[in-house]
């Protein structure tokens, strides 16, 4: 990543002669953040000329640069661009800003080639980042355009993959590609793999109808077929026994997938010992590893952009962004139907799940085989083939019972996290994170640090705690006693009073601090208890995160405060079966499912619960976002209420707290 210019640093005036630099706001913004001020006119001493790759308008800038002896800045889309092609109107998440040449044109060295030739690429931290990046890109099925459904089945494995490209693309022309060259590549693939099936992979822009390719039905035979569906390229690469390409980025991805592709052109990834090359590259005499190639091409060379914070960012932040946006597209692109959703939630659900197609709200599960169906978890009962929806664990700055919209929602097509009587997706995710890669552990570790440093919790409400007596302090969080997590997740101890009694009986000399649930304190739900003198302190209207920093233990039935305590290295005893119990991280006095046999580290629990499981919505941009963005908004004190009508409704429902099932 090119570093963001510091305040007062010298900037370059960049003169352009392509209207796209002026109309594409994202491109102008990335250039500005990178230290370039886009201008019209003629350059003077110290100015630069910007051109877009080898586009049809590039010759204008090249002539001006030559006439005025001005240095060039060549601009191109980065290798992980966006969900959809730019011709669909989607802004890029990164640019390649090259002062030397073009990465796809070997006629002269580019900044990327110079990096690959001269950079040591031996820094352990850099290569660890590259290895983690390769795994994340493959795991998330990311490519230059990532609007693929990984669930679509690829062809039966065992084929030879021949990669088509967009006709007359600049990268094709730079590698002397034409119809004859592509036909030759297809013929060689058949000759070198006698008897094997040949699969021609159509370019995404050809599938989208933007540009034609070089292969057509005329090239089909009993051995040769065309793949023109939006299937993940990683799934296609997994089933290939050999890969043939002119200069496609898919050749680079083939290297990352473990292939040694046969390359007929001169792309940036050829000539480093990782490909079978038709051409000789006199300047490229170095053998590189996959991690070294990836480090240069994806971490050091591009300029990545964070659309949430409007700033340049590191490669890992770009991956966080794409992970959130691709997950949302893949879940939502078919559209949803939904039932069991209260009226006040529907507008927000449209913002969260209806970006691709509007949600169709129904009274009961409808018969729309082309759309998945979602239902609010508390209304699911025994709903079959439905995705259950529930608030996430970092919800909002305000109570759900006060109708404050959620910034995170969990979707689960197996069960729901608070119901231990059935398996849930979260259980599977936690078990899968028993072993973490270094990059996963680092992300979870940073997440914990961000949460604890900013004192964040599920609702982020309450005031500073009162002065607490000295001694061994145990926090006992009260809960809403008719809540589904109590009804489904407890057996022996099922009330706040019994919880306090159990904690006191087991800890007669401890300082017990009872914190009523905020929904109960607000008069919106049931759960008020009569004080029997069991608690030493009743901490009303208190910020739970501030309390957790002053206690040594938490005793709970199923409260999320137990999970938040684990993040702060506070010992937790459970008397029910919350999602975080049964994994060896808590003392469990209740009955937990025997199926929770994995022993993930705390970082694995955090990764599964806060990164893998929920979806997040940035309240500022309205975009699907990673958890780190929601933490950033909450730490800034962002507060989004539902407006006057919703606030009035929340007050009215307090009068009818006993009938909470009618509005929840």
**DSSP states of 434-465:** TS--HHHHHHHHHHHHHHHHTT--SS---BPP
Distance CA 615, CA 627 (A): 8
Q: Evaluate if residue 653 carries a pLDDT over 70.
A: no
Asked if 144-289 and 429-635 have one fold, the answer is yes
Whole-number CA gyration radius for the chain: 28
pLDDT tens across 358-394, in order?
999 988 777 677 899 999 998 877 677 899 999 999 9
What are the phi and psi torsion angles at 235 (to 5°)?
-65, -40
Say what the pLDDT of residue 6 is: 45
Band of pLDDT at residue 647, cut at 50, 70 and 90: very low
Band of pLDDT at residue 524, cut at 50, 70 and 90: low
Distance CA 247, CA 493 (A): 65
Q: Evaluate if residue 163 carries a pLDDT over 90.
A: yes
Distance CA 498, CA 107 (A): 78
Say what the pLDDT of residue 521 is: 77
For 266-416, strand residue ranges (E) read 276-277, 303-306, 311-313, 337-339, 360-361, 373-376, 387-391, 408-412
User: How big, in percent rounded to 5, are the helix, strand and coil portions of the chain?
Assistant: 35, 15, 50
Band of pLDDT at residue 525, cut at 50, 70 and 90: low
Quote the DSSP letter at residue 415: -
Query: What mean pLDDT do residues 413-423 have?
Result: 95
pLDDT tens across 291-309, in order?
999 999 999 999 999 999 9
Nearest Cα neighbor of 96 from 268, 265, 253, 215 is: 268
Look at the pTM and tell me if it is higher than 0.85.
Answer: yes
Say what the pLDDT of residue 9 is: 57
* Alpha helices by DSSP H, 239-354: 249-256, 290-294, 315-332, 343-353
pLDDT tens across 15-54, in order?
999 999 999 999 999 999 999 999 999 999 999 999 999 9
Say what the pLDDT of residue 526 is: 62
Distance CA 290, CA 562 (A): 43
Q: Evaluate if residue 7 carries a pLDDT over 50.
A: no
Residue with tokens 């060549």: 74
Distance CA 204, CA 144 (A): 10
Average pLDDT, the chain: 91
Nearest Cα neighbor of 658 from 497, 529, 524 is: 524
Query: What mean pLDDT do residues 393-417 have?
Result: 82
For the chain, give every domain's residue range. 144-289, 429-635
CA atoms within 13 Å, Cβ hemisphere of 513? 25
Distance CA 235, CA 256 (A): 13
* Alpha helices by DSSP H, 468-615: 484-489, 496-506, 518-521, 544-548, 560-566, 602-606
pLDDT tens across 167-187, in order?
999 999 999 999 999 999 999
Distance CA 272, CA 117 (A): 9
Question: Cα angle at 173 between 170 and 177, to 5 degrees?
Answer: 135
One of 1.10.3470, 3.40.50, 2.20.28, 3.30.9 is the CATH number of 144-289, namely 3.40.50
Band of pLDDT at residue 522, cut at 50, 70 and 90: low
One of 1.10.238, 2.60.40, 1.10.20, 3.40.50 is the CATH number of 429-635, namely 3.40.50
What are the phi and psi torsion angles at 343 (to 5°)?
-60, -40
Q: Evaluate if residue 448 carries a pLDDT over 60.
A: yes
Nearest Cα neighbor of 119 from 279, 296, 350, 252 is: 296
* Alpha helices by DSSP H, 411-555: 425-432, 438-453, 484-489, 496-506, 518-521, 544-548
pLDDT tens across 555-593, in order?
999 999 999 999 999 999 999 999 999 999 999 999 999
Query: What mean pLDDT do residues 79-96 have?
Result: 93
Say what the pLDDT of residue 435 is: 97
Q: Evaluate if residue 628 carries a pLDDT over 90.
A: yes
Say what the pLDDT of residue 185 is: 98
Query: What mean pLDDT do residues 608-627 have?
Result: 97
Say what the pLDDT of residue 255 is: 98
Say what the pLDDT of residue 530 is: 74
284 neighbors 117 (Cβ within 8 angstroms):
yes
CA 209 to chain centroid: 28
Band of pLDDT at residue 662, cut at 50, 70 and 90: very low
pLDDT tens across 119-158, in order?
999 999 999 999 999 999 999 999 999 999 898 999 999 9
Quote the DSSP letter at residue 597: -
Find the range with the poorest average confidence among 78-92, 356-370, 471-485, 543-557.
Answer: 356-370
CA atoms within 13 Å, Cβ hemisphere of 9? 13
Burial 210-223 (b: 16+ CB within 10 A, else e): ebebbbeeebeeeb
Distance CA 16, CA 55 (A): 13
Nearest Cα neighbor of 261 from 234, 243, 238 is: 243
Say what the pLDDT of residue 277 is: 97
Say what the pLDDT of residue 651 is: 46
Say what the pLDDT of residue 10 is: 76
Distance CA 515, CA 559 (A): 11
Query: What mean pLDDT do residues 533-544 have?
Result: 91
Instruction: Give the residue with greater pLDDT, 366 vs 466.
Output: 466
Band of pLDDT at residue 606, cut at 50, 70 and 90: very high
Say what the pLDDT of residue 233 is: 96
Distance CA 534, CA 120 (A): 66
């Amino acid at each position: 990543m090119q570093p963001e210019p510091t305040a007062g640093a010298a900037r370059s005036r960049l003169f352009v002669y392509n209207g796209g630099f002026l109309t594409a706001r994202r491109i102008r913004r990335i250039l500005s953040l990178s230290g370039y001020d886009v201008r019209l006119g003629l350059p003077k001493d110290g100015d630069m000329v910007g051109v877009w790759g080898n586009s049809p308008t590039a010759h204008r800038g090249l002539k001006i640069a030559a006439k005025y002896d001005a240095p060039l800045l060549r601009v191109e889309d980065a290798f992980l661009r966006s969900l959809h092609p730019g011709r669909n109107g989607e802004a890029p998440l990164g640019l390649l800003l090259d002062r030397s040449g073009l990465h796809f044109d070997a006629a002269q060295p580019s900044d990327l080639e110079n990096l690959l030739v001269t950079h040591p690429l031996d820094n352990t931290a850099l290569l660890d980042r590259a290895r983690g990046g390769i795994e994340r890109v493959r795991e998330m099925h990311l490519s230059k355009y990532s609007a693929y459904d990984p669930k679509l089945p690829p062809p039966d494995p065992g084929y030879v993959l021949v990669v088509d490209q967009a006709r007359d693309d600049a990268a094709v022309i730079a590698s002397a590609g034409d119809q004859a060259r592509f036909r030759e590549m297809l013929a060689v693939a058949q000759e070198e793999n006698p008897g094997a099936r040949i699969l021609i992979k159509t370019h995404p822009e050809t599938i989208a109808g933007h540009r034609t390719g070089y292969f057509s039905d005329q090239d089909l035979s009993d051995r040769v077929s065309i793949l023109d569906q939006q299937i993940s390229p990683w799934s296609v690469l997994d089933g290939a026994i050999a890969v043939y390409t002119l200069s496609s980025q898919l050749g680079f991805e083939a290297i990352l997938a473990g292939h040694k592709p046969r390359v007929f052109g001169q792309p940036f990834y050829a000539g480093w010992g990782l490909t079978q090359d038709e051409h000789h590259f006199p300047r490229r005499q170095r053998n590189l590893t996959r991690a070294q190639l990836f480090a240069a091409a994806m971490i050091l060379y591009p300029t990545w952009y964070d659309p949430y914070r409007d700033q340049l960012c590191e490669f890992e932040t770009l991956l966080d962004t794409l992970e959130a946006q691709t997950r949302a597209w893949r879940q939502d692109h078919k559209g949803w139907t939904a039932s069991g959703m209260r009226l006040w939630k529907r507008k927000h659900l449209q913002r969260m799940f209806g970006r691709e197609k509007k949600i169709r709200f129904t009274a009961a599960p409808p018969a729309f085989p082309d759309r998945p169906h979602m239902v609010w978890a508390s209304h699911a009962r025994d709903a079959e083939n439905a995705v259950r929806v529930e608030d996430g664990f970092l919800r909002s700055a305000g109570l759900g019972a006060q109708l404050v919209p959620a910034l995170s929602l969990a979707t689960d097509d197996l069960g729901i996290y608070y119901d231990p009587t059935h398996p849930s997706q979260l259980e599977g995710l936690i078990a899968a994170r028993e072993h973490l890669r270094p990059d996963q552990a680092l992300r979870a570790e940073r997440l914990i640090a961000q949460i604890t440093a900013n004192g964040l919790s599920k609702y982020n409400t309450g005031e500073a705690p009162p002065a607490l007596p000295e001694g061994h302090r145990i926090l006992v969080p009260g809960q809403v006693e008719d809540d589904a997590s109590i009804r489904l997740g407890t057996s022996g101890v099922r009330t706040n009073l019994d919880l306090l009694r159990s904690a006191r009986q087991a800890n007669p000399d401890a300082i017990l601090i009872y914190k009523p649930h905020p929904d109960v304190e607000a008069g919106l739900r049931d759960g008020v208890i009569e004080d029997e003198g069991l608690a030493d302190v009743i901490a009303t209207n208190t910020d739970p995160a501030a309390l957790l920093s002053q206690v040594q233990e938490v005793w709970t039935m199923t409260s999320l405060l137990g999970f938040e305590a684990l993040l702060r290295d506070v010992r937790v005893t459970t008397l029910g079966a919350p999602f975080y119990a049964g994994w060896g991280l808590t003392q469990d006095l209740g009955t937990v499912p025997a199926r929770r046999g994995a022993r993930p580290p705390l970082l694995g629990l955090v990764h599964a619960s806060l990164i893998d499981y929920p979806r997040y919505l940035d309240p500022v941009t309205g975009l699907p976002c990673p958890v780190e963005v929601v933490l950033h908004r909450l730490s800034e004190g962002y507060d989004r209420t539902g407006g006057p009508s919703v606030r009035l409704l929340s007050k009215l429902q307090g009068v009818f707290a006993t009938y909470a099932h009618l509005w929840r």
